[in-house]
Structure 1
Amino acid sequence: MGTAMNPPSMSDTRAAPDRRKGRWQLILIVLMVIGPMVLATFMYKLQFWVPDGRSYHGQLIGNGQTRADIGVLANEERWQLLVTAPTACAADCQQLVYLARQLQIGLGRDASRASHALASAQPVSAEYEAKLKIEYPQLQRYPLALPAFNQNAAAPGDAQLWIVDPHGNLVLRYDAQVKGKDLLNDLRHLLKLSNIG
């Protein structure tokens, strides 16, 4: 007596399409997770589809430079408004020093999270030195190493104001034409986003 072959059951006929459907679902899930990361990497590396709009007013320093890279050796663990003067601290430099102090005051309750400083390559005039002692008692002073500054600063011949984070990283740079309100908005935005300092 021969053995009769059993016809394939309904569950066997459904298993193959279900497996294919499951594979496609897995592939789609993997693409949904990895796809945006791959796209973002290509956008960053190839600089396409990068939005032109920005919410800050200074020049963003996104290359990992630190305060030491521009010739300023300091150990400040708060946010800092740092004015650099590679030449004599003339009118532009003095305006930025004044602005840095006003910005710190303008932070209100967050004023203790920031400091203001002047790094100069040359000694300031006796008259300005006397003014700094009277009107800027909290101003921190540092020497500025010109070789490092000239090699690494974006505009080495001019007085500039830098926002420096508590780790000493340069975040934003401004020239003497910056508007105080714009700079204050940038600083407030950074402090709001930051968990350090």
Structure 2
Amino acid sequence: MAQLLPEASPKASPEKRPKKRDRLQLALVFLIPTTAMALAWTMYFTGVWVPDGRTNKGELLLPPAQLADIPLRDGGQAFIPDETDGLWRIVVFGSTECTESQCQESLYKTRQVHIALNKEAERVARFFISPEAPKPSEALESEHPGIYWLAADKNTIETVLGTSQWPSNQVFIIDPLGNVIMSYQPEQPGGDLLNDLKKLLRASSIG
């Protein structure tokens, strides 16, 4: 009597076989952008692996200061910067009346930079912050439409920014997430601020 052979199990079709190469490619699709973003974040906020020959003209604040740590006042009430959330912000720290030429020059430079951004200007807001409620002249106010005239406590500013004194006439950039990331000395030309800001706006997917 012929012996029955065990029936061979059907082979899995090539379509149903897991393809390791496809899974690897899929993993790389997700892994590479995530790794690149993490690396950029680390370089941006810590300075690690950033070459000495970097082209930014401003001084990076490492780690960045936080706008949320600076209580701002608009006249006699607290200023909540919600309406500027999601925007880049250019900040000038000046005196209460901003009558000195250096204070007015810093304001002028930031206004010209804002104008030079052309269509990108709508992504940027301007702040002027003094240690007491600002009292700009009517002429100065008319020269700077749309700017926010604000006040902040001197000691708080020095603590948050890590400075030993009020940063008179210095200019700072705040990103859309509220990170104070870069500063400029009063004597720096407006072109330094403009070039850095253009690069940030071009590279940013937010704000």
1:12-91 superposed matches below 5 A = 51-70=51-70, 72=72, 74-75=81-82, 76-77=84-85, 78-85=87-94, 89=98, 90-91=100-101
Mapped pair 1:176 → 2:173 = no
1:37-186 superposed matches below 5 A = 51-70=51-70, 72=72, 74-75=81-82, 76-77=84-85, 78-85=87-94, 89=98, 90-125=100-135, 128-155=136-163, 156-157=165-166, 158-186=168-196
Paired residue secondary structure (1:147): helix
Q: Which structure has the highest helix share of the two?
A: 1
TM (norm. structure 1) is: 0.67
Deviates more, 1:77-86 or 1:170-179: 77-86
Q: Deviations over 1:68-108 (max 9, x none)?
A: 43554633221111111266633222211111111110001
Number of aligned residue pairs: 152
Percent of paired sites with the same residue: 31
One-letter amino acid of the structure 2 residue matched with residue 85 of structure 1: G
Which segments of 5 or more consecutive residues in structure 2 lack a partner in the other structure?
A: 1-34, 73-78
One-letter amino acid of the structure 1 residue matched with residue 140 of structure 2: L
Q: 1:104 to 1:51 in 2, by over 3 A?
A: same
Which segments of 5 or more consecutive residues in structure 1 lack a partner in the other structure?
A: 1-36
Distance 1:82 1:70 in 2: 13
TM (norm. structure 2) is: 0.64
One-letter amino acid of the structure 1 residue matched with residue 91 of structure 2: L
CA contact (8 A) 1:163 1:172 kept: yes
Distance 1:134 1:186 in 2: 27
Q: Which structure has the highest strand share of the two?
A: 2
One-letter amino acid of the structure 2 residue matched with residue 82 of structure 1: V
Question: Greater CA radius of gyration, 1 or 2?
Answer: 1
Distance 1:70 1:99 in 2: 24
